[in-house]
Structure 1
Amino acid sequence: MTPAGSVVASASPSHGQWRLLAPAVVCWAAAAVVVHIPGAAICFEVVLGIGGVGIAAILAARRRARGATGQSKWGWTGGAGLLCVAALLAVIGRVAVVEHGRDSVSEALSRFGGGARVAATVVVGGYPAPAASARGDDAERSWVRGGLVRLVPAPGSGSHDVDLESGCGGGVHAPLPAAVPPSLPPSVSVPVPVPVPASASASAILWLDGAPPAGWYPGATVCAAGTLTRGPPESLAAFELSVSSTVGPHAAGNVPAALGEAAAALRLGLRAAAAGVRGAELVPGLAVGDTSLVSDSLDRLMLESNLTHLTAVSGSNCALVIAAAVAAARAMGLGRRGRVLIAGGALIAFVVIVGPDASVQRAAIMAGVLLAGNFGGKQGRSLPALGLAILVLLLADPWQAIQPGFALSVVATAGILLAATPVNAWLRRRARMPQVLALPLAVAVVAQVSCAPLLLLLQPGFSLGGVLANLLAAPAAPAGTAAGLAALILLALPGGIGVLALRGATWPARWIEAAGEVGAALPGGRLFWPEGWGGAASLTAVYCLAWLARIFVRRSQRGLAAPGSVAAVHYRQPWPCSRARAVRHRRGWIGPVRTALVPALAAWITAGAAVGIAGGVTVVVPLVLRLGVPADWAIVACDVGQGDAVLLRDPGVKSEVMLVDTGDDPDALEACLDVFGVERISLLVLTHDHWDHVGALDAVSGRVDSALLPPDSGDDLGRSRIGDRIVEAGIPAVEATAGMAGAGVRADTGISRSETAGMRWEVLAPPVRASYRDVNATSLVLRVDVGALTVLMLGDTGANEQEPLLRSHPGLTADVVKVAHHGSRNQAPGMYDLLGARAALISVGSGNRYGHPNSELVDTLAATGAEVLRTDEHGSLAIVDRRGEMTYWAAGGAARPGRSRDRAWRPQPPERPGPVNPLTWPGRAPGTRAALRAWRKTC
């Protein structure tokens, strides 16, 4: 964000400051449209060219007809139009060039055959970052952006069949042939290097198994073998490479590569030192944006309290670096230009260390423009600098126009530049706040309000506790950043002074963590608001109505101002009043009152509409939804995205509730429990150890009485160690296997429950074994009787587990079945026909990348006569049994805070299978929260 200190110095923007920002916004909107329409850039270019020629011809004709006087009337408008056309021609032309390059790379890739494995030479474009698992567990994955230099067909399918050193030409500097010999077939077994066009079209995302590689840095060259696929047209990266093996990195031996190695060494040194100091997890993030040490619990706390932007390097970090450099240069006695040069050098070094992230690029370009203006002796202007930053970033990569991080960063910066100063002045004048409190509060409120409509596209609702947390963390954030940067430099020097600086940086880091805890614990700190484009549009409408009300209030005050009074002088226009207004003033008090009454009435109407919409959405809608929840529900499938969380209870014993799995979205799970009135969980059943089933365990551990755990699969890959987490939470638990049964919610855990309870359960699988095929094979299968209904919970079992289950339990039936593995294709043939269920629950995320649920399985379930109920279409689902007749109630998204959907049940087409792209707007898929963390950090 823009540094808070610059807000006070910024005055209200003058008319001329919009001349660069307005064309930048127009280019942003145009690029966002064109990148979604492949091939349309050329047509746009032709239309823009004709429009530009027409505007220039009109201006020239009017100038000849009216002489120099005509220029004063039409010059500014025509000049602004020509500037917009020129900027649009440049940005849209860049889109056309990139699209042509992407097609060229796809053509080169097609020569290897569809789905072929390749050995690729890649120039790393940033520091690797952790990513969500693509297999539904919590195994470490990582990703990094890069630029493809050339491709080589890989002769084998195994990860060790490719000699990457020879595949990359025995190094990375071997000469490349001009093209592939046309005589070779696509299945060529001899590696033939294919050059890649040197443009942004060759960008790719590399998906890696394991933690982010420590030796990779921007500018390094690596050789990677894997499967290369073309991304969708709107993706920021043109290609995705699922890497199986790598060699490198190789340094080119030039100055940029040497700077990259030095920067990577500084980052690694700070990370290694912080790993050994208690409470220093946030320090690398505050200093250079490295959040690899942040634990899941701390990361969730930062996300819930809207503090993740503090660990993302942006304008405030750049301002701090510039201020420190200017102070040092002033201490050395340097003049203005010397201070500017020192500050510019420090800014460049800082950007090299941090990496070329979009938010850093935007902040650095803005700071560079302001420094360049100061070097020439001219006062810098923030809005033109922001406009120039937008144009430069769009010219570098037009696909940033549709990236949420770019949008959040620009909108937050613009909001602070335009509104933080008047809000700060109002707080000091009306609330009598001191500057030290008014300024941080103004910045936090303005940034939150500015980003709120865009954030609704990422998640529902908006946080009031985040404003409080940001206000409390405001004094500690710059101190932590400064101390972290000092430790970054001093750790490279001999002696222990760097460790001392690092220990000093832990104090502001702990302060920020404490501020996050206060904000997250604030009662009612998160307001209900619908997510998606509808929610964003409704919130924007409230903003517009409030803005109109303010305009009408000012006009009303202007109308009541008597001639010659202080108010009249304040609202005096720079041109004479019209004759009608002069006559109205001569009539005495009737004219001013009439002039004030109409705007006052309009102000009351618009303000009432804004308050009515906001109050209706945040208060009335949740109240109506809560009142509509059936009190006698027996089964609830919570909408937690691509995961499972099912509530079971006997309606006659409402105090005893069983929760089967937790999903991986704590917010969605807690919202579901709140909507359905669940305060305590008597028995928590964790079917198996995959993140989409146990990821939100910490969110409910404080309200659980006892737990059933699955057996250990012996597969260490991706295990979240739920046994350890249960022990840390102090929850009595036992390991369940086939044959274990209970009445009510009682298991052999020392928790006493009534034997007369109406809910009975039995564990049907897995059988006791020494080892299991994989984690899914350990899924607990439960048969639960809730009142008069029998529910079969199949976990994530597949055909290999379901067939023995049917053999060991002939005649197995159920009234309701929780479909296995989110409706995947891997199901035992004929199983659901034998069960004869009246309802089939499918807990699945909307638009997930796995293609769940399988369309053939849905048809099979419907053919058995079962009512297919899906959380991706209906939101959270409740099943009620009333005198033997089952009824279904759909929350329509009420259990996911702020989401609002109609009750029309429309199937959603599945997305193309593949890894989650962290650079596009999210759907409801595993890893959405991990991607959201990256996006939220830029605001």
Structure 2
Amino acid sequence: MWNVAAFAVVTVSLAGGALVASVVAVDEPHRFPVLAHVAAARHNRVDVQVVLSSTPETRHSPGGDTLRFRGRVTGLRLAGGASSDASSGAGSSGDGSSGDAGDAGALSMPVLVMVPSPPETPRGLAIGATVRMVGTLTATAPGDSTAALLFGRDPPVVTAAPPAWLSWASPVRDRFAAAAAGLPGDGAALLPGLAIGDTSAVGDDLDVAMKQSSLSHLTAVSGANCAVVIAAVMLGAALLRLARGARIALALLVLGAFVVLVTPDPSVLRASLMAVIVLASYGLGRPAGGVPALALAIIALLVVDPWLSRNYGFALSVLATAGLLVLAAPLARSLARWMPRWLATVIAIPAAAQLACQPVLVLLTPALPLYGVPANLLAAPAAPVATVLGLIACLLLPLLPGVAAGILHLAWLPSAFIAAVATTCAGLPGSQLPWPEGILGFVACLAVTVALIIVLVRGNAAGNRRWVTLAAVLLLGFAGSYAGSLLGSGWARARGFPNDWQIAACDIGQGDAVLVRDGDAHALVDVGPDPALLTTCLATLGITHIDLLVLTHYDLDHVGGVEAVIGKVGLVLVGPPENAQDERLHTRLAAAGATVREAGAGDSGTLGGLRWRVLWPRRDAVPVITGNPASVTVTFEGRGIRSIFLGDLGEDAQQAMMAAASPSPVDVVKVAHHGSADQSAALYRRLQATVGLISVGVDNGYGHPTRSLLGMLRASGTRALRTDQCGMILVAPGGEGGALRVWSERAPPALTTSGTSVQPG
């Protein structure tokens, strides 16, 4: 029996794989035609026609706001009448005119469009609209859901409005979002996501909290939302005594409208197609099982769009559903041996989904959410209430705005409760347990998950004692090793650090790598000498993306660790290059997607709620300075802390910077040049910093930090904190009175100083 079932599964899987592979072979020429290849390789500007497939959204970054949306290019030609050699072999007419990619009806190239955000979003820019724009193409990695990135300098021009069956939804979504924005607090930001999957109002802090507490799935429309909609329609149709066929037809019609309203994201497509399959089987009098419906939906969606297989949202939606269908019931039965059955069922549902998804989640964020299941237990009862009431309010706003406003206020209550659960759980000690990155982390998490399922689900089954015992031994051995690694790496101390830390000095030996954070926005000043050490620091702090990277100068102890952040950076500020090697570093960063800009005094921007400003070097300096004297000097201010980072400036350069920029007093100074003797006492007296961070290696051979520098800091009332003694150091605002809170991985020689509370982790 098992052999027959296994053979059937393998046969269907191979047939499905062959079908999807055939679709890929047929679609590939239309996804990225030859002309697009040529234009991307030669950086030619292209004139394109794009049909939007996602809602435009504005992304805020230190380099400037960006308007982004996904779409499909249906018309493509080289802009400006490209010469025939530029488009040779790529659809050129051969007469010097621009080359066309071919029949617009055949071309369907998925792209991610990015343009500078205009003051106002162009009217009519919505899903289904057709736009025209000029930009440049950058090919993405093979297998990516988009074939290319399209960068435009000017906003797109809408040439055709969405079709009627799509155009009604955008005003409804916008009206609901505007109404919810009038409510207070995080509940207002979260409500559109719970009701219709619109997370545009969710701020960075709340977004991080939702992810760290494993509640972000609540803002992704899924099977639960579709089930609520269909159940409501079927119940209403039954009360009206409609025939089965009419009920199913009405349910399908409403489901289609719901998908248009919430936008067809991968999780929505999976859930809605499963619902269609279940309704169809119900109409035929043969109710479908959950697993067959899920399998059929997966195959159908991958045949239509094989590149969904690389989409994390789609994979997590499939895994969560599979976990609920396969694991929830046996897990509930096992847990019922130790607790009431109703409680076992309540715990089993989020636990099953978490177990199924966690191996993939560690690929996105190498950490384990310690409070994920408890957070879901608390939020689960509130989520459907907020969803249903929010959806009702959304639909009533155009018709009965007064009634809708009252319902909206009721929906806000469970929404605010969910937001409070997320922020509370995310702020608890140890909310994120560190985990290895990449394929190693995936395999390790998969092995632990399988062993845990064997112990929990198969523990009381006859004939499985040997497997259960082996799995239990593996889990115990892993738990001991994991706990030891946490203690040995200092992570246990790190989890005691304040959740609102703003500055973190990484312990990377003799070099600089200091992070500045506000919410989910991160800046990094220098990258230290070794990518492995920087990777460890970033993983400990749970940081996977750097919005702003400042490379103060090009000494190895400041740029040697750059491999750890290649491909993870938004904007890079660099000092004046000294040679071709420095320029190649700029090219590498830009090729990996970063915007590289040579910094100069007066440059400024934002990092979340913080404001940064470059004080040095001056662009008009004659002669041009390079090296240590040209170290990019930057300040950050906001959220109760003002800080300055001095790179490796020597005394003369410090005096020149002080004369040119007149820096104001600060709370935190990153001491120049690891505490060398080449310092300006006048600068430190002027800064009057409470804390001086010295990034320095143990027994570094240079005598850093020097006695003279430490004396300057003492004379200025600045408390010196050294990474060679303290390990990693974090600084957080202390609230009233301007005091700072400082946590260190290892205890410094003295634990208190005026105005500052310094505690070991």
Structure 1: distance between partners of 2:491 and 2:421: 34
Instruction: State the partner residue of 1:264.
Output: 170
Matching of residues 199-214 of structure 1 within 5 Å: 202-210=109-117
Instruction: State the partner residue of 2:545.
Output: none
Q: Which amino acid aligns with 2:425?
A: G
Structure 1: distance between partners of 2:355 and 2:114: 35
User: Is the partner of 2:49 in helix, strand or coil?
Assistant: strand
- Asked if the contact 2:248/2:283 (under 8 Å) is kept, the reply is yes
Q: Which amino acid aligns with 1:608?
A: V
| Corresponding position: 1:662 with 2:551 | no
Structure 2: distance between partners of 1:660 and 1:77: 54
Structure 2: distance between partners of 1:307 and 1:628: 24
Q: Alpha-carbon deviations, 1:387-432, whole Å to 9, x = none?
A: 1111111111212212222221111110111011222344445312
| Corresponding position: 1:101 with 2:30 | yes
- Asked if the contact 1:214/1:268 (under 8 Å) is kept, the reply is no
Pick closer, same or farther for the CA change 1:302–1:80 going to 2, 3 Å: closer
Structure 2: distance between partners of 1:541 and 1:411: 16
Instruction: State the partner residue of 2:376.
Output: 470
Structure 1: distance between partners of 2:39 and 2:107: 21
| Corresponding position: 1:273 with 2:198 | no
- In the TM superposition, residue 445 of structure 1 has moved relative to its aligned partner by 1.2
Q: Which amino acid aligns with 2:146?
A: A
The match for 2:199 among 280, 291, 303 is 291
Instruction: State the partner residue of 2:556.
Output: none
Pick closer, same or farther for the CA change 1:605–1:111 going to 2, 3 Å: closer
| Corresponding position: 1:623 with 2:623 | no
Q: Alpha-carbon deviations, 1:248-301, whole Å to 9, x = none?
A: 43436xxx7112110111111111222222242111111111111112222222
Structure 2: distance between partners of 1:276 and 1:609: 53
- Asked if the contact 1:106/1:230 (under 8 Å) is kept, the reply is no
Instruction: State the partner residue of 1:872.
Output: none
Pick closer, same or farther for the CA change 1:713–1:478 going to 2, 3 Å: farther
- In the TM superposition, residue 129 of structure 1 has moved relative to its aligned partner by 3.3
| Corresponding position: 1:604 with 2:464 | no
Gaps of 5+ in 1: 1-14, 17-72, 158-178, 559-598, 631-639, 652-657, 677-684, 695-709, 743-760, 772-777, 794-804, 806-815, 819-835, 841-877, 883-887, 890-939
Q: RMSD of aligned C-alpha atoms? A: 5.0
Q: Which amino acid aligns with 2:249?
A: L
Structure 2: distance between partners of 1:545 and 1:276: 48
Between structure 1 and structure 2, the one with the greater Rg is: 1
User: Is the partner of 1:408 in helix, strand or coil?
Assistant: helix
Pick closer, same or farther for the CA change 1:99–1:614 going to 2, 3 Å: farther
The match for 1:765 among 648, 653, 657 is 657
| Corresponding position: 1:333 with 2:241 | yes
- Asked if the contact 2:366/2:539 (under 8 Å) is kept, the reply is no
The match for 1:219 among 86, 108, 128 is 128
| Corresponding position: 1:155 with 2:62 | no
- Asked if the contact 2:368/2:432 (under 8 Å) is kept, the reply is yes
| Corresponding position: 1:86 with 2:11 | no
- In the TM superposition, residue 552 of structure 1 has moved relative to its aligned partner by 8.0
- In the TM superposition, residue 471 of structure 1 has moved relative to its aligned partner by 1.1
Q: Which amino acid aligns with 1:330?
A: A
Matching of residues 443-592 of structure 1 within 5 Å: 443-546=349-452, 554=460, 557=462
Structure 2: distance between partners of 1:503 and 1:551: 42
- Asked if the contact 1:146/1:203 (under 8 Å) is kept, the reply is yes
- The count of residues paired between Structure 1 and Structure 2 equals 593
Q: Which amino acid aligns with 1:121?
A: Q
Q: Which amino acid aligns with 2:53?
A: G
| Corresponding position: 1:368 with 2:276 | yes
- Asked if the contact 1:394/1:400 (under 8 Å) is kept, the reply is yes
Instruction: State the partner residue of 2:718.
Output: none
Does 1 or 2 have the higher relative contact order (CA < 8 Å, sep 6+)?
Answer: 1
Higher strand share: 2
- In the TM superposition, residue 231 of structure 1 has moved relative to its aligned partner by 2.2
User: Is the partner of 2:42 in helix, strand or coil?
Assistant: coil
The match for 2:47 among 116, 119, 124 is 119
Q: Which amino acid aligns with 2:339?
A: A
- In the TM superposition, residue 352 of structure 1 has moved relative to its aligned partner by 0.8
Matching of residues 771-810 of structure 1 within 5 Å: 783-784=671-672, 789=676
Instruction: State the partner residue of 1:589.
Output: none
Pick closer, same or farther for the CA change 1:770–1:341 going to 2, 3 Å: farther
- In the TM superposition, residue 542 of structure 1 has moved relative to its aligned partner by 2.6
Q: Which amino acid aligns with 2:57?
A: A
The match for 1:183 among 79, 82, 94 is 94
- In the TM superposition, residue 78 of structure 1 has moved relative to its aligned partner by 6.8
Structure 2: distance between partners of 1:357 and 1:468: 28
- Asked if the contact 2:610/2:638 (under 8 Å) is kept, the reply is no
User: Is the partner of 2:51 in helix, strand or coil?
Assistant: strand
- In the TM superposition, residue 763 of structure 1 has moved relative to its aligned partner by 7.7
Pick closer, same or farther for the CA change 1:839–1:471 going to 2, 3 Å: farther
Q: Which amino acid aligns with 1:613?
A: F
- Asked if the contact 1:207/1:240 (under 8 Å) is kept, the reply is yes
The match for 1:142 among 64, 67, 80 is 67
- Asked if the contact 1:130/1:140 (under 8 Å) is kept, the reply is yes
User: Is the partner of 2:516 in helix, strand or coil?
Assistant: coil
| Corresponding position: 1:393 with 2:282 | no
Q: Alpha-carbon deviations, 1:774-795, whole Å to 9, x = none?
A: xxxx9x9965476x756999xx
The match for 1:251 among 160, 164, 182 is 160
- Sequence identity percentage: 32
Q: Which amino acid aligns with 1:96?
A: A
- In the TM superposition, residue 194 of structure 1 has moved relative to its aligned partner by 4.0
Pick closer, same or farther for the CA change 1:360–1:717 going to 2, 3 Å: same
Structure 1: distance between partners of 2:472 and 2:375: 29
Q: Which amino acid aligns with 2:93?
A: P
Gaps of 5+ in 2: 83-89, 495-500, 525-533, 542-549, 553-568, 574-598, 614-634, 684-693, 705-721, 729-761
- In the TM superposition, residue 674 of structure 1 has moved relative to its aligned partner by 12
Structure 2: distance between partners of 1:100 and 1:650: 51
The match for 2:478 among 604, 610, 613 is 613
Structure 1: distance between partners of 2:671 and 2:644: 17
- In the TM superposition, residue 199 of structure 1 has moved relative to its aligned partner by 5.8
User: Is the partner of 1:386 in helix, strand or coil?
Assistant: helix
Q: Which amino acid aligns with 1:535?
A: G
Q: Alpha-carbon deviations, 1:751-798, whole Å to 9, x = none?
A: xxxxxxxxxx97863654599xxxxxx9x9965476x756999xxxxx
Instruction: State the partner residue of 1:408.
Output: 316
Instruction: State the partner residue of 1:892.
Output: none
Q: Which amino acid aligns with 2:73?
A: L
TM-score, normalized by length of structure 1?
A: 0.55
Pick closer, same or farther for the CA change 1:536–1:232 going to 2, 3 Å: closer
Structure 2: distance between partners of 1:674 and 1:180: 47
User: Is the partner of 1:496 in helix, strand or coil?
Assistant: helix
Q: Alpha-carbon deviations, 1:7-46, whole Å to 9, x = none?
A: xxxxxxxx99xxxxxxxxxxxxxxxxxxxxxxxxxxxxxx
Structure 1: distance between partners of 2:322 and 2:440: 23
- Asked if the contact 1:101/1:197 (under 8 Å) is kept, the reply is no
Structure 2: distance between partners of 1:520 and 1:627: 17
- Asked if the contact 1:765/1:781 (under 8 Å) is kept, the reply is no
Structure 1: distance between partners of 2:356 and 2:153: 42
Q: Alpha-carbon deviations, 1:309-356, whole Å to 9, x = none?
A: 111111111111112212221232223332222211111001011112
Q: Which amino acid aligns with 2:220?
A: A
- In the TM superposition, residue 488 of structure 1 has moved relative to its aligned partner by 1.1
Structure 1: distance between partners of 2:701 and 2:103: 56
Pick closer, same or farther for the CA change 1:257–1:769 going to 2, 3 Å: same
| Corresponding position: 1:230 with 2:146 | no
